[in-house]
Structure 1
Amino acid sequence: MTSDIVVTDRLTKRYGEHAAVDAVSLTVRAGEVYGFLGPNGAGKTTTLRMLTGLVRPTSGTATLFGCAPGDGAVAARTGVLIEGPGFFPYLSGRDNLRVLSRCRRLQDDAVESALHRVGLRHRGHDRFRTYSLGMKQRLGVAAALLGEPDLLILDEPTNGLDPAGMAEMRELIVELADSGHSVMLSSHMLSEVQEICDRVGVISRGELIAQSTVAELRGGTSLLVRADPRERAAAVLAELLGRDVVDTVGDALAVAVSPELAPKVARVLVDAGIDLYELSRRERSLEDVFFAMTSDSNPGDRTASNEPRRMS
């Protein structure tokens, strides 16, 4: 049975009348990569700061490994990178990590291992102030990796990285999960989240509006049909398959049926004298789902649950 190592129950943070985080209940399971998604200002970083004991919640609770955030036992098992990494600018990257490792009573070989894993070993002797934004971000991830923590909480870990660096960070996160670590990360790179995360939570205006696997959020595969006349094609397919599975998407039709029915769909349209220009598989990306869930909707109409919100 999979255990939950991070659990929040109606976790809330208010600043005056403004609810930055509003009754968020989420879980992160052992050994998974959990993507925490939301627009700017949605409450992602505030939630992560509450999980690490940096911000005190107004109400609700959070536990990590069964203990309260900030507990010494939790800190020993958790690596954190939230917002921009802070280091001594006049020290080298290696010496900055040595300061941190000695505070945690770790050996210097932990520093070399962390530098190697983020691709900075050959630049470890350079002063931090000479690092690019991407290198600073890598060093922040290296600091989070010190001591081989069971849980990593990473806020935008690919920020400032070039495409090659992003690919390397993806590989590192997958490697960490494969070796038994749990990773909770926030990211604006939805294509990356889709590729590496097991489950995601979506927060908007402080409320958790969905929590599910990536596959469940994206929904099943459907068919994309471009035909002329489109209205006649929609009527024919609705009669064949049911009105609830045919929807208009731009100048085409989205048909929510298995791709195995593609030959049958093609035959019925051609037999009806309809010109068929395209018949292809249609899969919604996580980005499509994210924008559909977070744009132009009333937060009061949203309900957080373990099931994805149904969208047309």
Structure 2
Amino acid sequence: MSSEKSTLYLHLGLHKTGSNFLQKEVFPNAKGLYFLNKPDWSLISDYTDPTSLARFMASNTGVWDEMGDVFFNRANKEAGRSSSEGGDLLISDEQGPFGWHRNDPQRMAVHLKKIQSVMREQFDELKVLIVIRRQDTWLASAYAEICSKFKQASQGHFERWIKEQISYNKKYFWGRGIRLDYSSLLAEVTRFIPAHNVKMIPYELLKSDPGSFIGEVAKFIEVDTINWQSKTHNRKSLSNSEWKIAPYKERSLWLRPGRLFYKLGIDPKINIPDPFRSKKIEMTPALSRKILSKYKSSNQCLDSKIHVKEYGYVIDE
């Protein structure tokens, strides 16, 4: 192992928080830092999840004892890092701990504890970056991303879907609800990772002041400067309170032969418009208040640590 101190950085989401921008414009331009974006390997054959970090974090923590060295050796190779020479490595995978059946903050925390124990041959220190987003707009953006799967997608369906996501007695601990309890998430992670090694930063800062957001990230990953381009616009967002409803994915026509059209640079899948399908969803003030009321105590606690009140996380009732 190198005599130089090496740090492993993990960027673990959430998704829908500018992850593509970070992975394309920010992390690759952080000089002096090895970077690996969404490792896509088949190290664990029994899982169909698209990324190996997600596979590992969906498994029993014992997977790190069995294959942790394989994971880190592969990560070093893909990133161009030599374990004998050392150097800091950042692995970014916003889906890692937050896919289906991986929404319990305690589960995420114990995986991070295990990672610390098995990385010692490669790294001296673990630091974790988590970008969060206000619960109401995160839910709207998430719905816009997956609504092509819903034949009945509409404002009414959107509101029913939200009720399920944030329900304590139905999907809170097995769906998306618990991952949005950011105070609990931070508390669990810092049980095993020193608080100064955990950076939780609001996505709203990226929206309002990209330079300051990237400055915060750069300071945390200990690089002087990062050259970046202007961030891309969310194509599903129509305004601060409205999002597009995508066409139903089963209502489509495929041009044949598909390979020929792909070679010509033409998408062979043509979505057939449904004249009766809703065009957008809206995060109404009443719906926003309902969501934020569910997380009121959590967000108040969070504000005492990372100051999110200015972005509307904390409401007065």
Give 1 or 2: higher helix fraction: 2
Indicate the structure (1 or 2) with the bigger Cα radius of gyration.
Answer: 1
Give 1 or 2: higher strand fraction: 1
TM over 0.5: no
Give the TM-score, by structure 1 length.
0.32
Give the TM-score, by structure 2 length.
0.31
